[in-house]
Structure 1
């Protein structure tokens, strides 16, 4: 069977990236290889809008979390030489960074089963803004302040960028080289990845680098910089052609042993008996019965995704990088796979949330999700009757069918209603519950008022009552309204975070503190101080 695309298949793939083909706009690179033959190779849009520099074959992109597989591969190359063992405790290499009691192995770190809280979410809880200047020392200091884990190591999978900061630390300590130097010598140069490097300082000049631009959906683009000097979990800069060489090494290993690739594809067994979806710096699963390994990346407006369908009958590799957020590469990669592998058109999902008509007066309000991670969606209607997500100046919602609306220009949808509600964002479905937004008894709410201090993030939040509502405030994040979720439980959006606050009580039923939970940080304790 021919591996080449028909003209119709090529047009179908082109259409997936139509938002990168509208004049002076950001874009990306797309490379598809089938059974060793490149069948689609195109660049779209502009790397720099100010100077009108188009994206070319050698334009370099920040690929965010796609970096993690390089960090893990670096660790495993040291393991091949017997310089580290995956059963080693992280304390053996970074005792100064560890306060929690439980042993955490290098294996736990590379598989995201360590239970260590996520560094970015911790920093934001502390009051750091994501566009602040952030260094590796800031991240390590944040990790070193944690006395409690999210869960017992090995028992659960929960994505945490802290794991890969610690792996980078181990590679550097054991090898005597920076991660940038080690990966260049042991991975990039041998594979011929001539346009790839790890950026270790936000001031570093990367020749041919694409700039990052947010798209408002109305034809306006704004520059979205990255100001951190962090690596291990992120900061790989590369092209789709170089990424394809990395994917080829998983098929035909040349810089490592076959067993090393197998270790990266190993899925740990968790406490409930299930296998994790995360291998060693790679996610593993099946799409319509076709097994794959993949990883995506999201930072600023940069987006990236690599996926390899490794069954010999498929033998399909896809690499997508972009400098704007208006196309989701992970979704696009699956759409490409459908075209190339001749899969049937995807059936509509989540019909259980679809109602024949939009519920009258029920669609607006605040919706809360607990799974797959915490999320909060505010839906309102403007004076002209247009529904918006996130306030009157937020993203417009476009009716699709019944109570289903498309979110802005994306493929994401939300199902609105008091009894049945959900939001489909990318591959994630968030079942929603509509929360009560009516004022509450002021005397009752004043029981919660006070300042709340946490040593693990070295910060303070203030809880105040105003006209029947509770608010959380922070000196750097401003104020966010609390929404009741149950007895002593509230949800809040503040500083770019969606958080659940559970207030704790002591003698005399007096409020003594609160426990803060985020998507990747659990049971972070705060002690109440009288105002």
Structure 2
């Protein structure tokens, strides 16, 4: 609808948007008055910490049975100009975009223009042949094994504040010679796959993803204030600014630096989309079912991820959801299909957790139908907790996690959340359902740890028992290392008793020793490798979404020295 009529429509909160209710505004307003207002007060209480005039905040909307039940803005859209968040505010939603990209792929598949089993190189022949086929379905379900785009570009010299484009992502991906894992063998969430899906939409349809979505999704659903942003210089009226904490207090701006296609929308428009995930007015029931069908690994394990949608339930209820974050923007959209309830929270502060807040709203509306599935805490002696602290390395991913015993609890170094013991060597981080489980080591063997987060693939870790390198040994790691996959040379040096690594225009990253040839820094885990002779011949970079990217050590030819005439030196 035009923006003028949109603004006037928010004068009552019973605005309807389901097709069958398009003319039911007056009845919806009466319905709003009859709803238990205490629910709305409970929602206000949940977002009260972000409702002031000196903080960023959130826009929140709840719909039931196709009717907008409650919508409200909390906090400020722009702190510099004293602009509050309102239902008309337009947010950047980050990875919520993925379901729209998957929907576009599904529409093209319905028309017979592509198949989910197609090799991605059919549409992107410039991608390397990794020796194993990566299909469109692998891309949709995060089972493709591609290295993460942002981490690749960071290691290629992009700084956090630099803008990067789709062309930059393609440059990095087409240079890769290795994968994180064989396609279909694991599931690891990443953004590179969905960038490639967007390119496939353009090459198959002949239209940009933005134009395709506008014609085939947004206009038919009346999402007049929604578009897929593909130009960082474009002016967007009613756009919300984003913020992160400033050291010493206050806030600083924190916008995204990814110029690939992302969703800009309002609370109410996004609720219209959630309604389409229920009734399939656009795309039909088969496509809606496709998006809500889990992918599977080669061994048949369900990934709990469909087409741009997370399918893990919540407290015993079926839930379809997705979150998003980029810069200071944070977002969450929850849908409970069996109760026809949708909850959307779009926020503009990096310290706000809309996923947690939206689930608290769900508790208010559906608590009577939910069960408490949080594993209860058990008592563990502090001596046993302290014994688990240490550094653990994963032979699967190459990454290192560091644990410490602090303030009476086991914690991950640098993360404030305490681990809650739940018995049999298991722990959950805070109130999450993630499982960290320690095994009892055999005599003389190092302790092992397994981590299962929101994905079904479990990551194994083994405690690092190798000693820390002596200060005098650090010089053996210094030198230059070259990665042809990223066209970058890295310089490692010793400074102030620690290793540092520098590349391109990046500030030097300090590497902390964690045992043996393993080091950690802000770029993840750096592991130095050795030749058969025992000398250092290279290094690898590893993170959760990027494994063992290798750089070879460069041999510097020695310059012949002039003969000394006996002088001491």
TM-score over 0.5 for the pair: yes
**Match among 34, 50, 71 for residue 101 of structure 2:** 71
Q: Is the 8 A contact 2:494 2:500 kept in 1?
A: yes
Once the 2 structures are TM-superposed, how far is the Cα of residue 16 of structure 1 from its aligned partner? Answer: 1.6
In the alignment, what sits opposite 2:301?
274
Once the 2 structures are TM-superposed, how far is the Cα of residue 84 of structure 1 from its aligned partner? Answer: 1.0
For 1:125 and 1:507, locate their aligned partners in 2 and report how far apart those are by CA, in whole Å.
27
Q: Is the 8 A contact 2:257 2:327 kept in 1?
A: no
Say if 1:211 and 1:152 are closer, same or farther in 2 by CA, change over 3 A.
same
Stretch moving more, 122-131 or 211-220: 211-220
In the alignment, what sits opposite 2:417?
413
Count of aligned residue pairs for this structure pair: 497
For 2:481 and 2:320, locate their aligned partners in 1 and report how far apart those are by CA, in whole Å.
43
Say if 1:89 and 1:455 are closer, same or farther in 2 by CA, change over 3 A.
same
In the alignment, what sits opposite 1:493?
521
Say if 1:64 and 1:430 are closer, same or farther in 2 by CA, change over 3 A.
farther
Say if 1:460 and 1:274 are closer, same or farther in 2 by CA, change over 3 A.
same
In the alignment, what sits opposite 1:106?
136
In the alignment, what sits opposite 1:304?
331
For 2:381 and 2:555, locate their aligned partners in 1 and report how far apart those are by CA, in whole Å.
49
Q: Is the 8 A contact 1:436 1:484 kept in 2?
A: no
In the alignment, what sits opposite 1:351?
377
For 2:119 and 2:426, locate their aligned partners in 1 and report how far apart those are by CA, in whole Å.
46
**Match among 399, 409, 412 for residue 403 of structure 1:** 409
Stretch moving more, 441-450 or 369-378: 369-378
Once the 2 structures are TM-superposed, how far is the Cα of residue 155 of structure 1 from its aligned partner? Answer: 1.5
Any idea what SS the aligned residue of 1:471 has? strand
In the alignment, what sits opposite 1:237?
264
Pairs within 5 Å for 1:115-194: 115-194=145-224
For 1:230 and 1:334, locate their aligned partners in 2 and report how far apart those are by CA, in whole Å.
29
Say if 1:159 and 1:378 are closer, same or farther in 2 by CA, change over 3 A.
same
Once the 2 structures are TM-superposed, how far is the Cα of residue 24 of structure 1 from its aligned partner? Answer: 2.9
Once the 2 structures are TM-superposed, how far is the Cα of residue 353 of structure 1 from its aligned partner? Answer: 8.2
Structure 1 residue 460 corresponds to structure 2 residue 497: no
For 1:406 and 1:515, locate their aligned partners in 2 and report how far apart those are by CA, in whole Å.
23
In the alignment, what sits opposite 1:392?
none
Say if 1:358 and 1:92 are closer, same or farther in 2 by CA, change over 3 A.
closer
Say if 1:424 and 1:120 are closer, same or farther in 2 by CA, change over 3 A.
farther
Structure 1 residue 47 corresponds to structure 2 residue 77: yes
In the alignment, what sits opposite 1:390?
none
For 2:404 and 2:310, locate their aligned partners in 1 and report how far apart those are by CA, in whole Å.
33
* Greater percentage in strand: 1
Q: Is the 8 A contact 1:214 1:325 kept in 2?
A: yes
Q: Is the 8 A contact 2:481 2:538 kept in 1?
A: yes
Pairs within 5 Å for 1:286-305: 286-305=313-332
Q: Is the 8 A contact 1:27 1:44 kept in 2?
A: yes
Say if 1:524 and 1:406 are closer, same or farther in 2 by CA, change over 3 A.
closer
Any idea what SS the aligned residue of 1:290 has? coil
Once the 2 structures are TM-superposed, how far is the Cα of residue 426 of structure 1 from its aligned partner? Answer: 6.2
For 2:79 and 2:249, locate their aligned partners in 1 and report how far apart those are by CA, in whole Å.
13
Say if 1:34 and 1:121 are closer, same or farther in 2 by CA, change over 3 A.
same
In the alignment, what sits opposite 2:501?
472
Pairs within 5 Å for 1:236-385: 236-311=263-338, 314-343=339-368, 351=377
In the alignment, what sits opposite 2:23?
none
For 1:285 and 1:9, locate their aligned partners in 2 and report how far apart those are by CA, in whole Å.
25
Q: Is the 8 A contact 2:397 2:547 kept in 1?
A: no
**Match among 534, 543, 546 for residue 521 of structure 1:** 546
Structure 1 residue 449 corresponds to structure 2 residue 453: no
Say if 1:427 and 1:143 are closer, same or farther in 2 by CA, change over 3 A.
farther
Structure 2 residues without counterparts, runs of 5 or longer? 1-30, 438-448, 450-461, 557-569
Once the 2 structures are TM-superposed, how far is the Cα of residue 244 of structure 1 from its aligned partner? Answer: 0.9
Q: Is the 8 A contact 2:315 2:372 kept in 1?
A: no
For 2:380 and 2:189, locate their aligned partners in 1 and report how far apart those are by CA, in whole Å.
31
In the alignment, what sits opposite 2:111?
81
Any idea what SS the aligned residue of 1:107 has? helix
Structure 1 residue 195 corresponds to structure 2 residue 262: no
Any idea what SS the aligned residue of 1:317 has? strand
Larger Rg: 2
Say if 1:108 and 1:240 are closer, same or farther in 2 by CA, change over 3 A.
same
For 1:422 and 1:469, locate their aligned partners in 2 and report how far apart those are by CA, in whole Å.
33
Say if 1:277 and 1:8 are closer, same or farther in 2 by CA, change over 3 A.
same
Any idea what SS the aligned residue of 1:482 has? strand
For 2:530 and 2:59, locate their aligned partners in 1 and report how far apart those are by CA, in whole Å.
55
TM-score (norm 2): 0.78
For 1:41 and 1:164, locate their aligned partners in 2 and report how far apart those are by CA, in whole Å.
30
Once the 2 structures are TM-superposed, how far is the Cα of residue 342 of structure 1 from its aligned partner? Answer: 1.9
Q: Which whole-Å deviations, capped at 9, do the CAs of 1:407-461 have from their partners, x for residues lacking one?
A: 99x9x623599x9998548665678999899963244433322211111112122
**Match among 500, 511, 524 for residue 536 of structure 2:** 511
For 1:259 and 1:522, locate their aligned partners in 2 and report how far apart those are by CA, in whole Å.
36
For 2:249 and 2:107, locate their aligned partners in 1 and report how far apart those are by CA, in whole Å.
46
For 2:366 and 2:398, locate their aligned partners in 1 and report how far apart those are by CA, in whole Å.
32
Q: Is the 8 A contact 1:440 1:469 kept in 2?
A: no
Any idea what SS the aligned residue of 1:33 has? strand
For 1:284 and 1:301, locate their aligned partners in 2 and report how far apart those are by CA, in whole Å.
25
Say if 1:437 and 1:88 are closer, same or farther in 2 by CA, change over 3 A.
closer
**Match among 56, 59, 62 for residue 26 of structure 1:** 56
